[in-house]
């Protein structure tokens, strides 16, 4: 039996060093084996530049500790600790000694961490959590069979969440994962969202990073509870039919002393060359995506959350920072690749490898890229030279649209391309239309307050804007709280301003958002052909003088919705010909007068929209030829 064990361990080390391990966390880190005489804990860590490694804890002493033995030439170390009693929840660190001195480090593969400035890892035993989401996962697999790509023919309406500021106790304390689950499951289902997307929940020391500066990549943050508490969170959302997407950060990590930063006395997880090592803007280190052990670490980490926490997908942060050698660098600060250009070839290969491995293991898990440039083929198949993502945030649409909303209607005619130009590239990728956390902070104003005009004008513009987002090709995402129209920007340090719902205009706006979500979910024309040109046709693309557009959306059976949307400050009449005798209003963004019928006059429709008004209409009897 020992020979089999040794062989398996040798293979685990081999795959890790080769960059082909997709479960490195099962070998590295801390693992329990129960013995007749107690609990045997085995610790393994990769530290090739270390001269010595020690396990330090309350049990072994924080100064000297218990020494590790080096297992492989490429730097895996091992230590075993036998205890007569369970050490679950006990804190530990690694003392890494090198030519550059000694440093206390958290376990990169720890499943739980204290986080903060301490960063001690916590011993965890195998989870005994009982999942109750089989029905949801079965349905998820069915959606993976969509023709044209994952969720291509399905509704996808995402509610983006920062758990620390969604809601807090009256004294300012965080809600736990379990408390959040109980509130969110009811609220998100009530509002009609298909998924939530969590800003990063892997352990991060600095609250102001919103989770994007991760130090313990395998440990759900202890701010809200234990790993099993997080499992409860996902399970409860799944039980009401809501998926959970998680922001994932494989681009960079911070320079906190206990984290991955110069882990064994010198750059290890990060690039070694100064032309690639560090981000000037973020003050973080970039992962060395060409190093095999780093690839094993990251691919295993992505799969860990999909396997162990039933996560439904990952939104991969800052993809552009990985793809470009000159990202956040001045001329002369970067070295071209072997072909003389600025593509990071190792990053491209890593992202393709990542997406292929995830697709092989979980073909029903979404991979979404936050990629802010015009890089081609982000959502194209790897076999066709693409990166292999399922979807990409359409940040060009978002930035242009938000600027348009801020312009006085008198001058919007000069910015009409914000409304019609996105269709020039709408089918280049599989897009998500994001109204995200990044757009409601740092002086950018809340989504409601971005809109030009008076108090009443802003509310009307909000309704028209959401109706455009909901009817335009692409999947949907809205940042938490935006649904009721706060005027204040998002503040990560406190709860959302839920008291705003005590004011009728804001409560009405939330109910409008809920009604719009509900209409979206039951209307295949708005999502069944998001990524297919047959799903969209312009009616009036160039009504710049009227600040308006009109277009048709079609489902696979040819049933259609006609969208008429105006951002004018005055009433506007839109005239057009279509092969129907009449249209009936099925969703009115201003006064909810659904059911109103418009008839063609001599083959032409004349439909008047209110200032900042929008209508969805369905055709009635077709014209007889």
CA-to-CA distance for 275 and 254, rounded, in angstroms? 17
> Catalytic residue at 64?
no
Bridge partners of residue 618, in order along the sequence: 584
CA distances from 151 to 510, 582, 588 (A): 26, 33, 27
Q: How far is CA 559 from the centre of its chain?
A: 32
CA-to-CA distance for 346 and 337, rounded, in angstroms? 10
Q: Which of 364, 370, 371, 555 is catalytic?
A: 370
State the number of CA atoms in the 13 A half-sphere of 99 facing the CB: 3
Rounded to 5 degrees, φ, ψ at 577 are -115, 135
CA-to-CA distance for 427 and 430, rounded, in angstroms? 7
Nearest partner of 352 among 313, 384, 320, 312, judged by Cα: 384
Residues 6+ apart with CB under 8 A from 363: 144, 150
Bridge partners of residue 76, in order along the sequence: 46
CA-to-CA distance for 618 and 585, rounded, in angstroms? 7
State the helix-helix crossing angle for 455-471 and 504-521, rounded to 10 degrees. Answer: 10
Q: Which of 197, 262, 312, 317 is catalytic?
A: 317
Q: Which two tokens stand for residue 585?
A: 């209003």
CB 81 within 8 A of CB 90: no
Length of the chain: 625
Q: In 105-176, which ranges are continuous DSSP H helix? A: 134-143, 163-166
> Catalytic residue at 370?
yes
Nearest partner of 41 among 28, 27, 31, judged by Cα: 31
CA-to-CA distance for 154 and 139, rounded, in angstroms? 12
Rounded to 5 degrees, φ, ψ at 598 are -120, 130
**Backbone Cα Rg of the chain:** 27
Q: Which two tokens stand for residue 335?
A: 């070295």
Residues 6+ apart with CB under 8 A from 191: 159, 483, 510, 513, 514, 517
CA-to-CA distance for 209 and 213, rounded, in angstroms? 6
Q: Which residues are catalytic?
A: 317, 370
């Amino acid at each position: 039996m020992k020979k089999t064990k040794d062989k398996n361990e040798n293979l685990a080390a081999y795959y890790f060093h080769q960059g082909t391990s997709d479960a490195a966390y099962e070998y590295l880190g801390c693992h329990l084996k129960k013995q007749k005489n107690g609990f045997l804990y085995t610790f393994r860590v990769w530290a090739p530049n270390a001269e010595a490694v020690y396990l330090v804890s309350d049990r072994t002493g924080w100064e000297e500790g218990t020494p590790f033995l080096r297992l492989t030439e490429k730097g895996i170390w091992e230590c075993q600790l036998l205890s007569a009693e369970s050490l679950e929840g006990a804190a530990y660190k690694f003392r890494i000694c090198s030519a550059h001195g000694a440093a206390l480090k958290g376990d990169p593969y720890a499943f739980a961490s204290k986080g903060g400035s301490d960063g001690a890892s916590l011993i965890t035993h195998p989870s005994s959590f009982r999942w109750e989401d089989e029905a949801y996962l079965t349905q998820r697999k069915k959606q993976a069979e969509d023709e044209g790509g994952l969720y291509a023919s399905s509704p996808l309406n995402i509610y983006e969440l920062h758990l620390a500021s969604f809601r807090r106790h009256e004294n300012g304390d965080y809600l736990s994962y379990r408390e959040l689950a109980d509130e969110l499951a009811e609220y998100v289902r009530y509002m009609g969202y298909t998924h939530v997307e969590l800003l990063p929940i892997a352990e991060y020391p600095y609250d102001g990073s919103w989770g994007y500066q991760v130090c313990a990549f395998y440990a759900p943050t202890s701010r809200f509870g234990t790993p099993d508490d997080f499992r409860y969170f996902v399970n409860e959302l799944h039980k009401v039919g809501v998926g959970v997407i998680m922001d994932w950060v494989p681009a960079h990590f911070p320079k906190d002393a206990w984290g991955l930063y110069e882990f064994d006395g010198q750059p290890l997880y990060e690039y070694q060359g100064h032309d690639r090592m560090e981000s000037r803007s973020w003050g973080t280190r970039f992962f060395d995506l060409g190093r095999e052990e780093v690839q094993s670490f990251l691919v295993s980490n992505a799969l860990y959350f999909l396997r162990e926490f039933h996560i439904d997908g990952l939104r991969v942060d800052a993809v552009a920072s990985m793809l470009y050698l000159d990202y956040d660098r001045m001329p002369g600060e970067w070295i071209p690749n072997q072909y003389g250009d600025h593509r990071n070839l190792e990053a491209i290969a890593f992202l393709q490898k990542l997406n292929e491995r995830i697709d092989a293991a979980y073909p029903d898990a979404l991979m979404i890229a936050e990629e802010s440039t015009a890089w081609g083929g982000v959502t194209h198949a790897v076999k066709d030279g693409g990166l292999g993502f399922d979807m990409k945030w359409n940040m060009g649409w978002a930035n242009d649209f938000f600027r348009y909303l801020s312009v006085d209607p008198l001058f919007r005619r000069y910015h009409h391309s914000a409304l019609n130009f996105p269709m020039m590239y709408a089918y280049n990728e599989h897009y998500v239309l994001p109204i995200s956390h990044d757009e409601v902070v740092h002086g950018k104003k809340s989504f409601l307050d971005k809109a030009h005009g008076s108090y009443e004008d802003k509310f009307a513009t909000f309704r028209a804007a959401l109706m455009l987002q909901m009817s335009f090709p692409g999947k949907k995402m809205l940042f938490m709280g935006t649904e009721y129209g706060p005027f204040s920007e998002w503040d990560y340090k406190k709860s959302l301003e839920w008291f705003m719902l005590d004011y009728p205009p804001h409560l009405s706006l939330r109910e409008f958002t809920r009604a719009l979500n509900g209409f979206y979910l039951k209307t295949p024309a708005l999502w069944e052909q998001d990524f297919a040109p047959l799903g969209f046709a312009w009616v009036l693309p160039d009504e710049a003088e009227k600040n308006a557009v009109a277009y048709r959306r079609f489902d696979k059976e040819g049933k259609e919705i006609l969208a008429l949307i105006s951002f004018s400050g005055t009433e506007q009449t839109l005239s057009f010909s279509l092969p129907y005798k009449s249209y009936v209003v099925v969703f009115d963004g201003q006064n909810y007068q659904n059911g109103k019928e418009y008839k063609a006059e001599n083959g032409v429709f004349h439909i008047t929209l209110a200032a900042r008004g929008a209508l969805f209409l369905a055709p009635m009897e077709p014209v007889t030829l």
